[in-house]
Amino acid sequence: MPLAEGAAVPSVTFKCRIRDEKIGGDNPFDWKDVKTEDIMKGKRVVVFALPGAFTPTCSGTHLPGYEKHYEAIKACGIDEIYCLSVNDAFVMRQWGLKQGCAEETKDGSNPLNPGNFTKTKLLPDGACLFTRGMGLNSTWDSERGFGERSWRYSAVFNDMKIEKLFIEGGAVVQNSGPDPFEVSDADTMLKYLTENKK
């Protein structure tokens, strides 16, 4: 069952890859553990989660919408926007590059950088720890063969607590045939934030 609005978000460790030019070569990245607290404590952030990098709705509409409205969403009192998927850091990076997201190569003010992106930050929940903690994990076996992934949702987290949660279809469906995309989009989020500026 998904966590309710007002509940604390899961405290987990995300296994990330950070650019380190001292390494040199074609792949100058090293592992970095980033905790939920590192990116959400004392901050008001938007997180939108999706079933998988490179998939059609996620690539064609979901991520591009948040990239398009990045500045407008931040202007509503949001510190940062994160796109979460149950994929590893390698996959998330290549997806972001394929989507045309601009890589942040220098600024390390966000714990995911340098080496993530200048606008929406792609957050790898490869072991599904955050997703399970949110109660928003779904397993697709005969449908798509994804295995365990995140149900599609968006949320506002304010200092590690759930301020607002938009769950597609209103509930998680295991092994779902349809992939609803009606309430977790950037336009819906921007409307909510515009009406609830802080």
Radius of gyration of the chain from its Cα atoms, rounded to whole angstroms: 16
Residues 6+ apart with CB under 8 A from 144: none
Which two tokens mark 124?
Answer: 């790898």
The strand pairing partners of 122, in sequence order, are 83
- 58 among known catalytic residues: yes
* Helix (H) or strand (E) segment spanning residue 90: helix 89-98
Closest CA to 16 of 36, 42, 45: 36
Catalytic entry in 58, 76, 83, 101? 58
- Cα separation, 64 vs 193, in Å, equals 18
Which positions are catalytic?
A: 58
